[in-house]
Amino acid sequence: MTDEKRVIKKYPNRRLYDTATSCYITLDDVKKLVLENITIQIVDAKTHEDITRSVMLQKILEEESGGVPMFTYDVLTQIIRFYGHAMQGLMGNYLEKNLQIFTQMQERLQEQTKSVYGDNPITNTHMWGDFLKFQAPAMQGMLTSYLEQSTNMFVDMQQQLQDRARNLFNGFGFPGYPNEGEDPAAAKPAEATPAPAEKSGKTPNKN
């Protein structure tokens, strides 16, 4: 992607104006810009507020309503449940890293298509299906690698969360939790020593 952002203004009539080409565009044109790896920024023409995310979500909703949705009901409900959850921030980072890994896998697949069909794009659906069947072992290997990386990434994030929680609790000095730099054995409460039995001073009776 280019470092310079292409500014698109959205007017009160909901029309999008591309400042680079000085013409009005549609959501489909926005999608084309994204596919061309052009960094865009959509701002409200009146308030100058950055509304890039809301327009992107609007395009995603349009694509999801097109008959071939990407997100299942279970995925959508899980995403909704994470809003306001303590793990919301980590979940966003987890999804972003997963997409990066999946994109890398897709790039490897595209390299394999070039090795079989050359630089000509594969536009025929049947040809693409035949290619996927032909490359089934390679696809399985890449998918396995993707799942392994995703799992390892989740485990790392979980470990980081546990470490942060442990450091947080240690800072409070809770009983049984050693403070940072303190010997764990020193943090354990001392075991109570049983009190010696009191002497009554009486002599036992002799039979």
Tens digit of each residue's pLDDT (9 = 90 or more) over 57-66: 999 999 998 8
If one compares 67 and 172, the residue with the highest pLDDT of the two is: 67
User: Nearest-CA neighbor of 144 among 110, 112, 107, 101?
Assistant: 101
Contact 6, 18 (CB under 8 A): yes
**Most confident stretch, 23-27, 66-70, 187-191, 193-197:** 23-27
Reported pTM? 0.54
Most confident of 106-120, 136-150, 172-186: 106-120
Structure tokens at 141: 């290997």
Distance CA 107, CA 110 (A): 5
**CA dihedral (67, 72, 77, 82) positive or negative:** negative
Confidence of residue 199 (pLDDT cuts 50, 70, 90): low
pLDDT of residue 2: 52
> Both tokens of residue 82?
């994470």
Tell me the C-alpha to C-alpha distance, in Å, between residue 133 and each of 108, 119, 127, 183. Answer: 16, 20, 10, 60
Cα–Cα distances (Å) from 108 to 99, 114, 130, 171, 196, in that order, read 14, 10, 18, 46, 76
Instruction: Identify which has the larger pLDDT, 192 or 26.
Output: 26
